[in-house]
């Protein structure tokens, strides 16, 4: 088992991830699952600017990531899998692919149809549905922005 | 992507950066501050009324970065506006660069520059200068550094536009952090040496304490960069205070 964290975070690779979770979990490799970014090298370069020297990153389309899940879980490196949206993580988790695993909600920020649940998690009806779908796939969902902060269980986020 | 021409209003954009965090909030983080900094540039493009309103709103989306490095993104976006880049690309640029500017800024400023300038002041204090000297040296060094960094980042952003990430590369910022770390390690060593020798040394044990000072200096030089964090500073301060009390 080599994926040490599955995380949904709109900012993807940023300070909380590389400075907070990175050292805590000794992360060596980041896999960003995002269809748009997988085919945009200039954006990938910008995201890579934030990586520590010892870590690497790759950007995969959803389908490629689903195919690679088993390989990633067996990888010798310690990997963090990041998605920008709940839907993208839901797609990864389909057909029990993440059953029994944990998914971390790290940052979903304000948008038109969302309301604040905790300071770094804003959800709307679509996000709530997506999170329920993750639970139905056997995933344990919780919110925690940094390793040192308190974990908030999903039911406390749903109103 | 560079067209060599700085957008009109860029000076105003620079000075507004000092108020970038004035409206920090959990909804858009630095978003409204970013839009505030863009106003002089948008105005000088001849926008007013509803058009200006719409343009400012388009820059109010969620954005976060270290405040001293946000200028890199601001300069680049001002350049992209000037060269007619489409709004979607600008939004994607902001989204992609923010994480790196946050993380590198934390490393460079909170992790390296602030502790280093604090140590510089502590070394001066221990060396016996009048109290106002370390205070002034800290304020001038710390603020001089951060204003210079803001100016440098903003100018690079204006110069390179959308390509600023590739053109700067991680190396430039990591190198700055590395230099500050080395300077901090050196100062930590000097501080340890100075206070061991000058305040703990006695006639009988002078040689021993001097040796301890030299050893501390060497250790600071070799390992200081690993230890140089806020917590280390607290430990140094506590030891310092205890030593003063013990010698009083």
Whether residue B90 lies inside any domain: the answer is yes
Query: Are B170 and A51 an interchain contact pair (Cβ–Cβ within 8 Å)?
Result: yes
Whether residue B4 lies inside any domain: the answer is no
Query: Are B99 and A120 an interchain contact pair (Cβ–Cβ within 8 Å)?
Result: no
B189-220 residues labelled b (16+ CB within 10 A) or e (exposed): bbbbbbbbbeebbeeeeeeebeebbeebbeeb
pLDDT tens digits for range B28-53: 889 999 999 999 999 988 888 999 99
**A82 contacts A32 by C-beta, under 8 angstroms:** yes
**A59 contacts A38 by C-beta, under 8 angstroms:** yes
Closest CB from A10, A49, A119 relative to B170: A49
pLDDT tens digits for range B48-101: 899 999 999 999 988 999 999 999 999 999 999 989 899 999 999 999 999 889
Nearest CA in chain B to A41: B166
What 3-state class would DSSP assign to A108? strand
Chain A: nearest CA to B39, how far in angstroms? 23
Q: A47 to chain B: which residues are within 8 Å by CB?
A: 96, 99-100
Nearest CA in chain A to B164: A46
pLDDT recorded at residue A110: 86
Query: Are A46 and B26 an interchain contact pair (Cβ–Cβ within 8 Å)?
Result: no
Nearest CA in chain A to B91: A43
pLDDT recorded at residue B108: 84
Number of domains in chain B: 1
Q: How far is CA A18 from CA A28, A52, A57, A106, B4, in A?
A: 10, 7, 11, 13, 34
Whether residue B59 lies inside any domain: the answer is yes
Query: Are A15 and B92 an interchain contact pair (Cβ–Cβ within 8 Å)?
Result: no
Whether residue B154 lies inside any domain: the answer is yes
Chain B: nearest CA to A63, how far in angstroms? 22
For residue B154, the enclosing domain spans 10-247
How far is residue A93's CA from residue A88's CA, in Å, rounded to a whole number? 9
Residue ranges of chain A with pLDDT lower than 70?
1
Number of domains in chain A: 1
Query: Are A47 and B102 an interchain contact pair (Cβ–Cβ within 8 Å)?
Result: no
Query: Are B98 and A11 an interchain contact pair (Cβ–Cβ within 8 Å)?
Result: yes
What value of ipTM does the predicted structure carry?
A: 0.83
For residue A57, the enclosing domain spans 3-156
pLDDT at B199 over 60: no
Q: Which of B199, B193, B184 is nearest to B245 (CA)?
A: B199
Q: Tokens for A114? A: 């969302």
Q: B170 to chain A: which residues are within 8 Å by CB?
A: 48-49, 51
Cβ burial of A70 (10 Å; 0-12, 13-18, 19+) is exposed
What 3-state class would DSSP assign to A153? strand
What CATH number is associated with residue A84? 3.40.35.10
* DSSP assignment string, A18-34: IIIIHHHHT--EEEEE-
Whether residue B64 lies inside any domain: the answer is yes
Could you tell me the pLDDT band of residue B178, with boundaries at 50, 70 and 90? confident
Closest CB from B62, B92, B98 relative to A110: B62
- Long-range pairs of A89-92 with CB within 8 A, sequence gap ≥ 24: A89/A6, A89/A8, A89/A33, A89/A130, A89/A134, A90/A130, A90/A133, A90/A134, A90/A137, A91/A62, A91/A66, A92/A6, A92/A33, A92/A62, A92/A65, A92/A66
What is the mean predicted confidence (pLDDT) over B2-13?
A: 79
């Amino acid at each position: 088992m080599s994926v040490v964290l599955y995380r949904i975070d709109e900012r993807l690779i940023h300070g909380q991830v590389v400075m907070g979770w990175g050292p805590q979990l000794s992360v060596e490799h980041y896999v960003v699952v995002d269809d748009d970014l997988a085919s945009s090298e200039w954006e990938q370069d910008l995201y890579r600017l934030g990586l520590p020297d010892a870590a690497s990153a790759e950007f995969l389309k959803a389908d490629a990531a689903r195919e690679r899940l088993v390989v990633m879980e067996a990888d010798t490196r310690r990997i963090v899998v990041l998605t920008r949206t709940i839907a993208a993580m839901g797609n990864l988790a389909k057909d029990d692919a993440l059953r029994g695993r944990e998914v971390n909600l790290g940052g979903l920020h304000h948008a038109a149809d969302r309301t604040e649940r905790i300071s770094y998690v804003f959800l709307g009806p679509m996000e709530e549905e997506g999170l329920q779908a993750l639970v139905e796939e056997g995933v344990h969902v919780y919110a925690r922005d940094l390793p040192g902060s308190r974990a908030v269980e999903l039911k406390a986020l749903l109103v | 992507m560079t067209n060599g021409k700085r957008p009109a209003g860029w000076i105003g954009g620079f000075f507004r950066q000092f108020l970038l965090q004035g409206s920090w909030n959990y909804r858009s983080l630095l978003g409204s501050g970013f839009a505030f900094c863009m106003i002089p540039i948008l105005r000088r493009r001849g926008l007013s009324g509803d058009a200006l309103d719409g343009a400012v709103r388009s820059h109010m989306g969620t954005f976060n970065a270290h405040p001293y490095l946000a200028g890199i993104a601001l300069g680049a976006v001002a350049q992209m506006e000037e060269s007619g880049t489409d709004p979607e690309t600008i939004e994607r640029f902001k989204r992609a660069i923010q994480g790196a500017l946050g993380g590198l800024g934390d490393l460079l400023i909170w992790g390296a520059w602030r502790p280093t300038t604090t140590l510089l002041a502590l070394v001066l204090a221990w060396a016996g200068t009048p109290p106002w000297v370390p205070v002034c040296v800290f304020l001038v060094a710390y603020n001089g550094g951060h204003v210079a960094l803001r100016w440098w980042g903003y100018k690079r952003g204006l110069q390179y536009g959308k390509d600023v990430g590739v053109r700067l590369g991680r190396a430039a910022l990591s190198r700055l952090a590395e230099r500050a770390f080395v300077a901090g390690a050196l100062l930590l060593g000097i501080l340890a040496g100075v206070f061991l020798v000058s305040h703990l040394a006695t006639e009988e044990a002078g040689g021993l304490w001097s040796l301890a000072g030299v050893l501390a200096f060497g250790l600071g030089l070799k390992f200081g960069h690993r230890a140089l964090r806020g917590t280390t500073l607290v430990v140094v301060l506590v030891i310092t205070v205890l030593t003063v009390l013990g010698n009083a």
